[in-house]
């Protein structure tokens, strides 16, 4: 069970009462005159996110009031209860009444308890919640623990999270669940036909590698996850400006979220044969860095002209996807922090996803909504496919023009998926720019909970 939760008897826990403006009058009458007057004197009016601790006659906290918006309310945040760990004093608490969604409120409480304290002591919240009745606390804990893994990996700076350190994290996860682990490193990538992964990572003194582990019954449906593991992205020879490079420690966010998703799948013992592939590289600048207009073969065969060295994520994913596709998985999923175009279109909180499988798209949209893990389907628009054409190679990794950048990236990756029965591509941001309830500023777990929910329904 996640550390945000407690197992003390519920009657010993301090009650948290959720209050809307419409319910405040009736709830206020149940508090007693002195408690109600105390709340009103301190300005409590049941505004969304408003909090007050009511004292007992002994001076201890007797009850918490926490404001919620009315439903339907387009501004309502289902994770609003994620503010509570940062507000509550030390102690054990329980939900005295039901919030709008008890499952999401309990999950938000756990997610809001996260602190990144590897480099500086951070006071962890000391409030604990008695699991509410009717929720699957094991599943909530599973998702919160996985989110913490993704956040920790992304938040760790690149000097301590290079390709080798990412391999170490993946290996530890594989060993924890008895998965079979292998890793191809450095020049062995060229010898074993992963030329694009090698090309992107060859300029760094930190050797590129392809992380590969499998878990589960080989007779079960094959589910393969591929995560972009660019541990730092300078942009290569097409160097990013300082403002664009500032957050590039998060460019391995796809790998971090794939590991979080794999952890949930294995911990839940879903009936799948899971494979995880992570091309882990650093896109550095040196005399041997790959250059604009260089041409490289790919594992699948088509030659790739380099239109821009800062479009490196799709290159490393292409070789990994080609490997995954060779065993014709039932479902092939890739996650990556790939394009600024996705952020321009949908912002940091709403990653686009791409698939030609309409049933999968509907399931993903529904699970994204129920788990408050927002996703939005974008089209694999075939008329833009010609934009990837090259005059001297089979394909260009970064067409000129600047339009539809997230779509053309997805179309590029689609060229390397042929035999998989179904394919899902998600262009995540992997970062929360400003703190929100349950989502501290910093590395973020995106898409993984929604995908886990979908897989749980299919293979639970």
Task: Tell me the sheet residues that pair with 446.
Answer: none
- Tell me whether residue 228 is one of the annotated catalytic residues: no
If we measure between CA atoms, which residue out of 329, 331, 369 comes closest to residue 350? 369
Tokens of 18: 């959720």
Helix intervals (H) in 75-123: 84-87, 102-111
Q: Which helix (H) or strand (E) holds 64?
A: strand 61-67
Residue in the block written with tokens 């387009």: 74
Q: Can you read off the two tokens belonging to residue 11?
A: 């009657």
What are the respective helix, strand and coil percentages of the chain, to the nearest 5?
35, 20, 45
Hey, how many other C-beta atoms are within 10 angstroms of the C-beta on 295?
14
How far is it, in rounded angstroms, from Cα 49 to Cα 75? 12
Other CB atoms within 10 A of residue 197 CB: 28
DSSP 111-122: HTT----SSS--
Cβ proximity of 342 and 352 under 8 Å: yes
Radius of gyration of the chain (CA): 24
Candidate list 142, 222, 300, 314, residue with the active-site label: 314
d(CA 460, CA 423): 20
Q: How many residues does the chain have?
A: 460
Task: Give Cα 178 distance to the centre of its chain.
Answer: 24
Q: What residues are paired with 38 via a beta bridge?
A: none
* CA pair distance 10, 92, nearest whole angstrom: 9
Distance CA 52, CA 55 (A): 10
Contact 1, 137 (CB under 8 A): yes
3-state SS class at 85: helix
321: phi then psi, degrees, rounded to nearest 5: -65, -40
Q: Which of 240, 271, 377, 458 is catalytic?
A: 240
- 275: annotated active-site residue: no
Residue ranges of alpha helices (H) inside 252-404 are: 253-267, 313-325, 340-346, 358-370
C-alpha to C-alpha distance for 176 and 132, rounded to whole angstroms: 29
Active site residues: 240, 314
């Amino acid at each position: 069970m996640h550390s945000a939760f407690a197992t003390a008897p519920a009657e010993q826990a301090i009650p948290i009462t959720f209050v809307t403006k419409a319910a405040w009058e009736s709830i206020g009458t149940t508090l007693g005159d002195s408690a109600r007057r105390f709340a009103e004197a301190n300005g409590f009016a049941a505004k969304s996110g408003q909090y007050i601790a009511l004292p007992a006659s002994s001076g201890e906290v007797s009850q918490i009031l926490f404001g919620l918006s009315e439903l339907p309310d387009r501004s309502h945040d289902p994770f609003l209860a994620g503010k509570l760990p940062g507000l509550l004093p030390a102690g054990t608490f329980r939900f005295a009444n039901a919030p709008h969604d008890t499952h999401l409120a309990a999950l938000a409480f756990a997610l809001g308890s996260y602190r990144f304290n590897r480099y500086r002591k951070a006071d962890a919240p000391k409030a604990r919640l008695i699991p509410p009745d009717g929720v699957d606390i094991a599943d909530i804990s599973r998702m919160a623990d996985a989110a913490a893994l993704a956040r920790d990996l992304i938040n760790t700076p690149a000097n301590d999270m290079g390709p080798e350190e990412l391999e170490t994290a993946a290996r530890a996860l594989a060993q924890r669940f008895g998965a079979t682990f292998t890793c191809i490193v450095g020049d062995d990538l060229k010898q074993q036909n992963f030329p694009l992964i090698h090309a992107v990572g060859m300029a760094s003194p930190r050797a590129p590698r392809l992380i590969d582990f499998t878990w589960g019954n080989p007779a079960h449906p094959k589910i393969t996850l591929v995560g972009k593991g660019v541990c730092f992205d300078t942009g290569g020879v097409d160097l990013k400006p300082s403002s664009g490079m500032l957050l590039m420690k998060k460019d391995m966010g796809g790998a971090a979220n794939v590991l979080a998703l794999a952890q949930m799948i294995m911990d839940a013992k879903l009936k799948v044969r899971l494979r995880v592939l992570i091309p882990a590289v650093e896109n550095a600048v040196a005399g041997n860095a790959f250059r604009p207009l260089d041409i490289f073969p790919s594992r699948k065969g088509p030659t790739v002209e380099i239109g821009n060295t800062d479009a490196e994520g799709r290159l490393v994913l292409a070789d990994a996807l080609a490997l995954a596709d060779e065993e014709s998985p039932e479902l092939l999923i890739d996650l990556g922090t790939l394009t600024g175009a996705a952020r321009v279109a949908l912002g940091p909180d709403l990653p686009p996803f791409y698939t030609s499988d309409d049933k999968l798209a509907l399931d993903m949209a529904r699970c994204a909504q129920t788990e408050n893990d927002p996703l939005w389907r974008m089209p694999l628009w075939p008329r833009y496919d010609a934009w990837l054409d090259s005059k001297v190679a089979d394909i260009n990794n970064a067409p000129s023009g600047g339009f539809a950048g997230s779509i053309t990236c997805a179309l590029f990756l689609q060229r390397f998926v042929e035999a998989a029965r179904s394919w899902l591509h998600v262009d995540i941001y992997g970062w929360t720019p400003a703190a929100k309830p349950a989502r501290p500023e910093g590395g973020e777990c995106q898409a993984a909970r929604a995908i886990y929910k979908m897989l749980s329904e299919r293979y639970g």
